[in-house]
Amino acid sequence: MYDSMSKNATEFIDDDEILSTVAYAKANKSNRELIDSLIKRASEGKGLTHREAAVLLECDLKDEEEKMFKLAKELKQKLYGNRIVIFAPLYLSNHCINGCVYCPYHSKNKTIHRKKLSQEEIVKEVVALQDMGHKRLALEAGEDPINNPIEYILESIKTIYSIKHKNGDIRRVNVNIAATTVEEYKMLKEAGIGTYILFQETYNKKSYEELHPTGPKHNYAYHTEAMDRAMEGGIDDVGIGVLFGLNMYRYDFVGLLMHAEHLEAAKGVGPHTISVPRICPADDIDPNAFSNSISDEMFEKIVAVIRIAVPYTGMIVSTRESKATRERVLELGISQVSGGSCTSVGGYSQPEAEEDNSKQFEVTDTRKLDEIVNWLLELGYIPSFCTACYREGRTGDRFMKLVKSGQIGNCCQPNALMTLKEYLEDYASEDTKKKGEILIKNEIPNIKSEKVREIATEYLKELNDGKRDFRF
């Protein structure tokens, strides 16, 4: 029985409810009156239910689809403006005891090179990331209690935060590790993590168990209920997602929104971020072996409808996607992108030799960070390295209240401009710096509060003189 308030995974992600929702959406895919009413209500920025969103995803009326895309753009601009937050993944270890059939880290893979970074190697990697200009990292590690115990993750976080190199520092460490206990989530909270990220991969229990035949990740309920335990452990911000292509996209789309609804209902705050990765090539993994891949067109529609249905959430697209695809989905709802990414264990301080392949997946967008920043500037976006909300305690429900009220821009816009200024002064190429300075000059008048505008202008001058890390 479907119950969004339940602590039981098979009740807040109810199979019958998903199947009935998919059937309802298909039956109403051409129901213009219903679709029009949903778009009109969604324009208020209060979101839609999973069933309502499923109808929009299924809609086969081209003019209504265009209305959806237009609304997604408007909501993205209204709530997040033209800011795009930039981050990089840092893979600590690819040792893993799970048997996930879509991931090259699976325990039976004998061709991938197993690696684990020492603390000394982490220092080198972080220095290299700082020299690129990064301020925000997402830590990745396989599940292995012997090689990657929680103590190793905690020590690594401490090491990362301690590294001050020239004008560089990592100001926010997000963590993507396997589902764990409330006690260990408390440890991560105490270590000062930003967002705890865990992808469901698929919400279909039967498919999930088949895709994870061995290892602790086989336990569907334990994995699916991880966000509840994380929030019980004091972590305010959590990030969810599915790996599109593993299962029927309609099913996982509905499950994803039901998970967001559950967190909102049961915990008082929905997901801080939603990621939308698609399966791609990797060592001993062929995406063509999975029959549920989705087209670029459907991928774009999924992004747009998620933005409409869960307008408050940050949305992430990684270097799995091409430049062209990333460019298209940026305007439809994406608010965070990775840049200059390595998906090998390490690889930033020194490129990995081909025979030492430790990659989790092949990167499609291989551009350097400065190229990403330059590209965003050309498109009219503000590349942001901001971590202010996390460090000012604007997390969880406090952050969401500001987003939902439309007030987050009063902080985010000047913070984005100041972190962009830091990047321009310390790391940018001449062309990127020139474009960035023009954008900052043009954006300053758009800061609505006169007082904030005056302070931001003064801070920008001080940044020009060598001072760093101002924030609202």
Give the residue from 366, 400, 430 where a domain finishes.
366
The number of domains in the chain is 2
Average pLDDT over residues 52-72: 98
Q: Is the dihedral of CA 226, 235, 346, 275 positive or negative?
A: positive
pLDDT for res 397:
81
Q: 160: domain range?
A: 77-366
Same domain (yes/no): 218, 361: yes
Same domain (yes/no): 245, 285: yes
* Nearest one of 168, 159, 158 to 127, comparing CA atoms: 168
> What CA–CA distance (Å, rounded) separates 169 from 162?
8
Same domain (yes/no): 170, 270: yes
Residues ≥6 apart with Cβ < 8 Å to 391: 171, 172, 471
Residue 206 lies inside a defined structural domain of this protein: yes
Average pLDDT over residues 411-417: 93
Same domain (yes/no): 205, 276: yes
Residue where the block lists tokens 């931001």: 456
pLDDT tens per residue across span 224-281? 999 999 999 999 999 999 999 888 999 999 999 999 999 999 999 999 999 999 876 5
CA distance readout (Å), 425 to 183, 430, 442, 459: 42, 10, 18, 13
CB 96 within 8 A of CB 144: yes
Q: What is the CATH number of the domain that holds 198?
A: 3.20.20.70
Same domain (yes/no): 215, 328: yes
> What CA–CA distance (Å, rounded) separates 265 from 5?
6
Please, which pLDDT band fits residue 288 given cuts at 50, 70 and 90? low
Neighbours of 426 (CB within 10 A): 16
Same domain (yes/no): 195, 261: yes
Give the residue from 318, 334, 366 where a domain finishes.
366
> What CA–CA distance (Å, rounded) separates 232 from 126?
30
Same domain (yes/no): 252, 329: yes
Judged by average pLDDT, the poorest of 36-45, 296-305, 330-339, 384-393 is 384-393
Same domain (yes/no): 402, 317: no
pTM for this entry: 0.94
CA dihedral 124, 130, 136, 141 (to 10 degrees): -20
Residue 42 lies inside a defined structural domain of this protein: no
Contacts 24+ apart (CB under 8 A), 2-9: 4/258, 4/261, 4/262, 4/265, 4/266, 5/262, 5/265, 5/266, 6/262, 6/266, 7/225, 7/228, 7/266, 8/221, 8/225, 9/220, 9/221, 9/224, 9/225
pLDDT tens per residue across span 146-164? 999 999 999 999 999 999 9
Judged by average pLDDT, the poorest of 89-98, 110-119, 168-177, 388-397 is 388-397
pLDDT for res 376:
98
**Structure-block tokens of residue 184:** 């260990």
CB 330 within 8 A of CB 379: yes
Same domain (yes/no): 99, 159: yes
Neighbours of 162 (CB within 10 A): 12
- Average model confidence (pLDDT) for the chain? 93
Average pLDDT over residues 300-306: 98
pLDDT for res 388:
84
> What CA–CA distance (Å, rounded) separates 94 from 256?
26
Reduced to 3 states (helix: H, G, I; strand: E, B; else coil), residue 8 is coil
pLDDT for res 105:
85
Same domain (yes/no): 291, 425: no
DSSP 283: T
Judged by average pLDDT, the poorest of 235-239, 306-310, 381-385, 404-408 is 404-408
pLDDT for res 107:
80
Residue 10 lies inside a defined structural domain of this protein: no
Judged by average pLDDT, the poorest of 301-315, 321-335, 399-413 is 399-413
pLDDT for res 472:
87
Residue 18 lies inside a defined structural domain of this protein: no
CB 336 within 8 A of CB 258: no
Give the residue from 366, 400, 429 where a domain finishes.
366
> What CA–CA distance (Å, rounded) separates 239 from 135?
19
pLDDT for res 355:
67
Of 410 and 88, more confident? 88
pLDDT for res 435:
98
> What CA–CA distance (Å, rounded) separates 172 from 161?
8
Same domain (yes/no): 452, 327: no
**Structure-block tokens of residue 169:** 């520092």
Same domain (yes/no): 294, 394: no
**Residue 374 identity (one-letter amino acid):** N
CA distance readout (Å), 91 to 126, 140, 291, 329, 401: 11, 5, 28, 26, 33
Residue 1 lies inside a defined structural domain of this protein: no
Residue 349 lies inside a defined structural domain of this protein: yes
Q: Decide if pLDDT at 73 tops 80.
A: yes
Residue 37 lies inside a defined structural domain of this protein: no
Strand positions, DSSP E, 142-268: 172-176, 195-197, 237-241
Residue 15 lies inside a defined structural domain of this protein: no
